[in-house]
Amino acid sequence: MAQQAPIGVFDSGYGGLTILSSIRKLLPQYDYIYLGDNARSPYGTRSFDVIKDFTLQAVRFLFEQGCPLVILACNTASAKALREIQQRYLPTCEDPTRRVLGVIRPTVEALEATSQSGHIGILATPGTVSAHSYLLEVQKLLPHLSIYEHACPMWVPLVENGESQSEGADYFVKREIDAVMQHHPEIDALVLACTHYPLLRPKIEHYLPEGVQLIAQGELVASSLQDYLHRHPEMEVRLSTGGGIEYLTTECADRFGNLASIFISEEVKARRIKID
């Protein structure tokens, strides 16, 4: 049997930490490597090809560290790069039994139970919205639901710059919530379809009209991963089980550690790496 190794978790920056926390809570036995491409974040306003290239570089890097399974804990990367990686890159790579999973499918699969009105808003980066991945996936799996995708271009920069608790963040949070709810007042569930957005959750909840449910992805992705590992014991046996975590960033390690510790309330010691 091949040597056992950690699960790789990738995001453009800090956002994927919200997914990682939920995964580690549900599946604490495994080892993890978290990689944030903070030096090139945000991805959400970048072009299709650039996001594809950056994501592929990150996946390759995590494969080189031995990870047999990588989670793209980033909607933008999942929307723009996952299909290409699964269909073109994996079959031809050195070890085609490795797997890469995203966050969009597990989120859509959980939507059925969330809305009474059948009208659901998707708050995401401009990149995710322009790919219409949520709309397409919902049309395929749950065609009776109506989906409204809304881009919140300033929310990721606020989080990446450590401004998620600031007064300035109130302006941008209120602006987007008001915009989506004024256009579609029938919405009764809003999905935080960007892994950075849970970090703005207290402010989002503050401006949300009563009766509108907020859906975050962490627990959905974690239970979908648990289910995947039950269905794929051949992958499960390849995962190392020490409960360890290594944090990697493409930006300054100290800065990553300081900001990450705020978001996941534990001490984070990161290591800077280069990917290209």
The residue among 41 and 224 lying less far from ligand DGL, judged by its C-beta, is 41
Nearest alpha carbon to residue 133 among 114, 164, 108 = 108
Task: For ligand DGL, give the closer residue by CB, 62 or 74.
Answer: 74
133 within 8 A of 79, measured Cβ to Cβ: yes
74 binds ligand DGL (CB under 6 A): yes
CB of 51 to ligand DGL, least distance (A): 9
Stretch that binds ligand DGL, among 73-81, 168-176, 203-211, 251-259 (CB under 6 A): 73-81
Shortest distance in whole angstroms from residue 97 CB to ligand DGL: 27
**Is residue 252 among the annotated active site residues?**
no
Q: For residue 16, what are the CA distances in angstroms to 159, 197, 230?
A: 12, 10, 23
Q: What Cα–Cα distance (Å) separates residue 35 from each residue in 85, 139, 179, 251?
A: 17, 32, 33, 11
With CB under 6 A as the contact rule, the residue among 22, 38, 107, 125 that binds ligand DGL is: 125
Applying the rule CB under 6 A, the residues between 160 and 189 that interact with ligand DGL are: none
Single-letter amino acid, residue 69? L
Q: Is 194 a catalytic residue?
A: yes
Residues 32-61 vs ligand DGL: string with x where CB under 6 A? ---------xxxx-----------------
d(CA 154, CA 157): 6
Cis peptide before 42 (omega within 30 of 0): yes
Rounded distance between C-alpha atoms, residue 154 and residue 117, angstroms = 29
Q: Which of 6, 9, 11, 218 binds ligand DGL (CB under 6 A)?
A: 11
Residues annotated as catalytic are 74, 194
